[in-house]
A and B are shown apart, each in its own frame.
Chain A
Amino acid sequence: ETGVTQTPRHLVMGMTNKKSLKCEQHLGHNAMYWYKQSAKKPLELMFVYNFKEQTENNSVPSRFSPECPNSSHLFLHLHTLQPEDSALYLCASSQVLGQREYGYTFGSGTRLTVV
């Protein structure tokens, strides 16, 4: 399998639940990203990892906790979320951080609904 794969595609969770989103890339990339996509708003960068090290936390609430065990896998652990956290969560990867000539490769996203 190639590209960036995100699971699950859809997730409904209660505000007291704990769940995790998974992202896996088979492109040999070394930088991975979490973005939040909400209606009528620009994509919001949440976290950046480069060679497994977190390089960016864009003022994300602590109820979102990322994990990057290796360059191919990225997780987003969720707990005690709020209804306003409902959105499409996109994972992306790139060869390395700091290459302005190349774009990202995105996964298909996880549609999260918090009830």
Chain B
Amino acid sequence: GNSVTQMEGPVTLSEEAFLTINCTYTATGYPSLFWYVQYPGEGLQLLLKATKADDKGSNKGFEATYRKETTSFHLEKGSVQVSDSAVYFCALTDTGNQFYFGTGTSLTVIP
């Protein structure tokens, strides 16, 4: 079956630190992979995506590379800001009929 596993949070970083949030997946086909972000009191927003192996998704300084050999899609940012504090969700879909989400990783960035 399809599933997504994210690293346990919460993650607390100082401003300008390097961020990595690990995500690995299990899929029956060739999935598309996504990262969503949820700010306090809001719904989920699409952050970036990759639809095939070796693709790199990027947005707002965040990046993630689709690694088929390690079934991973780790989220990275070189220098986090306080405004990046949110919950981050990794997700996949193989058919587009249903998305499978991880449990979310809470990030707090302190000044």
Residues of A within 8 A of B (CB): 4, 6, 40-43, 45, 48, 55-56, 90, 92, 94, 97-109
Contacts and interface: CB of A to CB of B under 8 A. Distances in A.
Given A41-B103, A43-B101, A106 B44 contact: yes
Interface of B: 4, 31-32, 34, 36, 41-46, 49, 51, 89, 91, 93-103
- Give chain A's interface secondary structure class: loop
Contacts of B4: 42
A106 B51 contact: no
Given A41-B103, A56-B98, A101 B43 contact: no
Contacts of A104: 44, 46, 99
A6 B42 CA distance: 11
Contacts of A97: 96-97
Contacts of A56: 97-98
A1 to B, nearest CB: 15
Contacts of A42: 4, 100-103
29 contacts: A4-B43, A6-B43, A40-B103, A42-B100, A42-B102, A43-B101, A48-B97, A56-B97, A92-B44, A97-B96, A97-B97, A98-B97, A100-B31, A100-B32, A100-B51, A100-B94, A100-B95, A101-B49, A101-B51, A101-B96, A102-B96, A103-B36, A103-B91, A103-B99, A106-B36, A106-B43, A106-B45, A108-B42, A109-B42
Contacts of B46: 103-105
A107 B95 contact: no
Contact of A100 (B93, B101, B103): B93
